[in-house]
Amino acid sequence: MKLFTIKNKNGLIATISDYGGRIVNLLVPDKADHFDDIVLGFDNLNDYLTANEKYYGAIIGRYANRIKNAAFSIDNQKYLLDKNDGDNCLHGGDKGFHNILWNVNQLDDQKIELKYLFNDLNEGFPGNLDVKVIYSWSDKNELIIEYFATTDKTTVINLTHHSFFNLTGNPINTIDEHLLQIHADFFTPVNKNLIPTGELSNVAETPFDFRELTPIGKRVHTKNQQLVFGGGYDHNWVLKANSSKEKIQLAAKVIEPRSGRVMEVLTNEPGIQFYGGNFLDGNDIGKNNISYKFRTAFCLETQHFPDSPNNPDFPSTLLRKGENYHSICIYRFNHI
């Protein structure tokens, strides 16, 4: 495993591994200009390989989130995927993007490029998929992740990033007091296996209403069947529609009151998954010998909706020969 470092003029640093394209360290300042590492991770490869949680900091594909019954059809051709989440396929299967060594080229001090050619029927997905991911810092303290892909056969694709954030800089703290805002009026409810029902539910008067800044822990214990299914928050929010496919919009904002750190998430994707660390169980011992416990980190994963290949009413995730896939996620940092 090799590590690559990118840094902007303000001193913000991301350390990225060729294994899974993982962000291993992310150093950003607080309101006193003190830098802390705000992502969960490990100091050596073996710990990543043996971790209970498999996706720390990784690039996720070919299909982020879940696909029901690990199967879908294109033009009446059925494709069977890796069943790595009960009967479902999660995050592209066990040999997905998170679990390979990418080819990395450091373009300059602020930018790296990762490439990989995924073979036809890798983990069951059709098409030879040529993927490029670029991590870069702007001098506006934006960590920009851009995804590009082409295929030689019609396929489905849904890429995202899976860092676990704790803006206190110390994951012995829970995320309950982090203030979260998501610019969405609807979310996609799920069944007990966390597969979308196909409906869009209004967030109004539910624990899923984050249209205004709200402490993450304020309503997580509310009696609500969706929270029972997810063990807390583990759902896709439907972002307000873009007028243009490539238009980048503000999707979410998180404020950590004690440190003053602020993280904004911008994207051209139609959805964002907010995951509240419900499956962190204390068994993974990470950096600084800290045990990663229940709800001590969160993920905000820009994406198309889960199980879209089996839901024709959801935005399409089809990519055809001759088309260019482009997705962008920006994590922008500042402080109050």
335 is catalytic: no
Task: Identify any residues that bridge with 162 across adjacent strands, giving them in sequence order.
Answer: 58
Distances (CA, A) of 116 to 21, 194, 321: 11, 30, 17
Closest Cα to residue 38, out of 215, 178, 219, 238? 178
Q: What dihedral angle (degrees, nearest 10) is formed by the CA atoms of 308, 84, 133, 181?
A: 60
177 is catalytic: no
DSSP helix/strand/coil, 288: helix
Q: What dihedral angle (degrees, nearest 10) is formed by the CA atoms of 285, 231, 297, 173?
A: -80
The sign one gets for the Cα dihedral 16, 20, 24, 30 is positive
Residues 123, 301, 304, 335: which is the catalytic one? 301
- 250-284 per-residue burial string, b: 16 or more CB within 10 A, e: under 16: ebbbbbbeebebbbbbbbbbbbbbbbbbbebeeeb
Q: How many residues does the chain have?
A: 336
Residues 91, 98, 161, 162: which is the catalytic one? 162
- List, by residue number, the catalytic residues: 162, 301
